[in-house]
């Protein structure tokens, strides 16, 4: 991994996060390149010590891994003009762009990994779902994993359709937690706390609960049962959530997000 040359096409937020992660993981800055038409974006990445160039052609020439970090809407044009070389691994982080389209825009037999990262990747705390086409070798799979692992955890799926489920659970997932936080802050305020205090209580509780679920051995259902005493306050709150159909609504919301991911992929795939 440390010997690979990695080219980023598009030097925006995600590219910057991945570059920061790769540098922190010990990758030599001289092995990382990025291209972007925006001089400001290039300057921000050049400040990290990597090679910033203004044409995508310069970035891909001789690279081992080409990371597509442009918006999905421009990806078709970018990729059709990109001289992808034999043996290069193409890693797309563009949300919702199906492999079928990526394969159509690249030379036959190109090794491609399609990824679905999420926004906490910007802090190095993301999780990315990855799917490889059959042309990807074991070594290239490890390279793609290492690039995305620089922004958090990774999980591979063996069926591309499962990336829609990844999108619905973790891609859109941060927004579900923000929504819950907003509702808890509003409720705390309604009970007389000032907004800053309600926010502090909510955010620290979310952080602590996530750490317990992540670092302990017990699944969330057990952790919930552990803090729910019969006849107590938590039991009252949870029974009101159940009576309000919140669990079912979350199930429907995530299924709806997956359905929307399928629709969007179909639209992009036809372009």
Ligand X SMILES: NC(=O)c1ccc[n+]([C@@H]2O[C@H](COP(=O)([O-])OP(=O)(O)OC[C@H]3O[C@@H](n4cnc5c(N)ncnc54)[C@H](OP(=O)(O)O)[C@@H]3O)[C@@H](O)[C@H]2O)c1
Binding site for ligand X (CB under 6 A): 9-15, 35-38, 41, 56, 69-72, 74, 78, 93-95, 117-119, 122
Nearer to ligand X, 91 or 146 (CB): 91
Output the smallest distance, CB 155 to ligand X, in A: 14
At its nearest, how many Å lie between ligand X and the CB of residue 15?
Answer: 6
Cα distance between residue 50 and residue 54, in whole Å: 13
C-beta separation of 63 from 33 below 8 A: yes
How far apart are CB 269 and ligand X at their closest, in Å? 15
- In 25-70, which ranges are E strands? 32-35, 51-53, 65-68
Instruction: Reduce the DSSP state of residue 84 to 3 states and report it.
Output: coil
Smallest distance from ligand X to CB 137, Å: 24
* H helix or E strand, kind and range, residue 199: helix 195-215
Q: φ and ψ at 50, to 5 degrees?
A: -85, 175
* Residue 72 or 188 with smaller CB distance to ligand X: 72
13 or 226, CB closer to ligand X?
Answer: 13
> What residues have CB less than 8 Å from 226, skipping those under 6 apart?
218
Residue 164, C-beta contacts closer than 8 angstroms, at least 6 positions apart: 258, 261, 262, 265
Residue 183 CB, nearest distance to ligand X (Å)?
23
Which one, 34 or 198, has the nearer CB to ligand X?
34
Residue nearest to ligand X (CB): 12
In DSSP notation, 172-185 reads SHHHHHHHHHHHHH
Cβ closest to ligand X, residue 116 vs residue 198: 116
Least distance (Å) from ligand X to the CB of residue 25? 19
Nearer to ligand X, 51 or 95 (CB): 95
Alpha carbon distance 139, 129 (integer Å):
18
């Amino acid at each position: 991994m440390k010997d690979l040359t990695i080219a980023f096409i598009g030097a925006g937020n995600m590219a910057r996060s991945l570059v920061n992660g790769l540098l922190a993981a010990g990758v030599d800055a001289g092995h990382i390149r990025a291209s972007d038409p925006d001089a400001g974006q290039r300057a921000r990445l050049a400040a990290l010590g990597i090679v910033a160039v203004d044409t995508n052609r310069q970035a891909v020439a001789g690279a081992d891994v080409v990371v597509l970090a442009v918006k999905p809407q421009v990806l078709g044009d970018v990729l059709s003009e990109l001289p992808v070389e034999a043996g290069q691994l193409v890693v797309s982080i563009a949300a919702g762009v199906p492999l079928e389209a990526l394969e159509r825009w690249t030379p036959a037999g190109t090794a491609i990994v399609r990824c679905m990262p999420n926004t906490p990747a910007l802090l190095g705390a993301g999780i990315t779902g990855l799917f490889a086409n059959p042309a990807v070798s074991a070594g290239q799979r490890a390279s793609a994993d290492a690039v995305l692992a620089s922004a958090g955890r990774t999980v591979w799926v063996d069926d591309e359709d499962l990336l829609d489920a990844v999108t619905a659970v973790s891609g859109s997932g941060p927004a579900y937690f923000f929504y819950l936080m907003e509702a808890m802050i509003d409720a705390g305020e309604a009970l007389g706390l000032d907004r800053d205090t309600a926010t502090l209580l909510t955010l620290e509780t979310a952080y602590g609960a996530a750490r317990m679920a992540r670092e302990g051995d017990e699944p969330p259902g057990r952790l919930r049962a552990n803090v729910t005493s019969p006849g107590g306050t938590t039991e009252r709150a949870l029974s009101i959530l159940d009576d309000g159909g919140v669990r079912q609504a979350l199930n429907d919301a995530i299924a709806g997000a997956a359905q929307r991911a399928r629709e969007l992929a179909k639209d992009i795939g036809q372009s």
